[in-house]
Homo-oligomer: A and B are copies of this chain.
Amino acid sequence: MSVIYNRVALIGLGLIAGSMAHAMRRAGLATEITGYARSPETRQVAVEIGLVDRVCATAAEAVTDADLIVLAVPVGAMGQVAEEIADHLKPGAVVTDVGSVKRAVIEAVAPHMPEGVHFIPAHPLAGTEHSGPRSGFAELFDNRWCLLVPVEGSDEAEVARLAGFWQALGSNVDVMDADHHDLVLAVTSHAPHLIAYTMVGVADDLRRVTDSEVIKYSAAGFRDFTRIAASDPTMWRDVFLTNKQATLEILGRFTEELFALQRAIRLGDGDHLHAYFTRTRAIRRGIIEAGQDTDAPDFGRAVARRKAAETG
């Protein structure tokens, strides 16, 4: 591997930026990584664990002389950060982001970008339910997809360079337009997250089923929902507020389908239910064949327990 961007500035030092720092070092992709986070506590932790080469007190300082600037803050904060750094960007620098919504980020960031700076939005489809500067790890992007969403007039050579950077971080790269991105993600991510948050909230509300029972007996399926519903609240608030239309559209389809299945339950239509549940099995097989999840039972939890039993 070799250096792709000499100096890289990470604005925001959470799970994604932290994992990028680890993965850049693993592959030797930059000569200096600077970082900035709004919270003094986050900056302090980043210094302690040596997350980046230099932690800066302002975003402006972090981006000065940087060749690649990565906006890794919640989608709702992108516009303000873009405004803060605009006057400090080097001509020819590349500004990218890692936001989960693309149309809203483009509208918030693009107006602030000075002439001669390349703005190329991006979205790595990777994450865990953990957040903060200690949560990152170098393998987060390995074999995951990163979607590049070039804007009107994006320089092709710079898009290719950014694609090479993400590949060097371990990702596969696809290029997509913003509206299609926002619809696809509404299906594969935003609607599932809202549904998981809802189900966990309902369980929490039910007073006839005590908290302790919901927790003790969670292994029957519910615990998978709680993982998703433990994701960062600020990030997800912003996702829903900025990908409103596509998310509401998919949730509308979801509710329609849920009502049809509820009706089949009420009417005792077992054939309808069986056919539906058989069809959904095929999608799981597709995901495993595409290398996007493990075929180990229970996400490998069972294997982990077996290994623990063998060695213990």
A-side residues, CB < 8 A to B, are: 76, 100, 125-130, 135, 137-140, 142, 144-145, 147, 174, 183-185, 187-206, 208-209, 211, 213-231, 233-234, 236-238, 240-241, 244, 247-248, 250-251, 253-255, 257-258, 261-262, 265-266, 268, 270, 273-274, 276-287, 290, 292-294, 297-302, 304-306, 309
A281-B230, A304-B300, A309-B139 known; A197+B261 contact, CB < 8 A: yes
**When chains A and B are docked, how far (Å) is the Cα of A207 from the Cα of B297?**
30
**When chains A and B are docked, how far (Å) is the Cα of A223 from the Cα of B135?**
21
Task: Select A280's contact among B185, B230, B244, beta carbons within 8 Å.
Answer: B230
**When chains A and B are docked, how far (Å) is the Cα of A128 from the Cα of B301?**
10
Identify the closest chain B residue to A306 (Cβ): B139
> Whole-angstrom distance from the CB of A285 to the nearest CB of chain B?
8
Which B residues are in CB contact (< 8 Å) with A265?
A: 194, 240-241, 244, 247-248
Identify the closest chain B residue to A286 (Cβ): B215
**When chains A and B are docked, how far (Å) is the Cα of A277 from the Cα of B196?**
10
Kindly name the residue among A187, A223, A236 whose own CB sees the greatest number of chain B CB atoms within 10 A.
A187
Task: Select A225's contact among B183, B192, B209, B305, beta carbons within 8 Å.
Answer: B192
Which B residues are in CB contact (< 8 Å) with A194?
A: 258, 261, 265
> Whole-angstrom distance from the CB of A255 to the nearest CB of chain B?
7
Kindly name the residue among A193, A201, A209, A278 whose own CB sees the greatest number of chain B CB atoms within 10 A.
A201
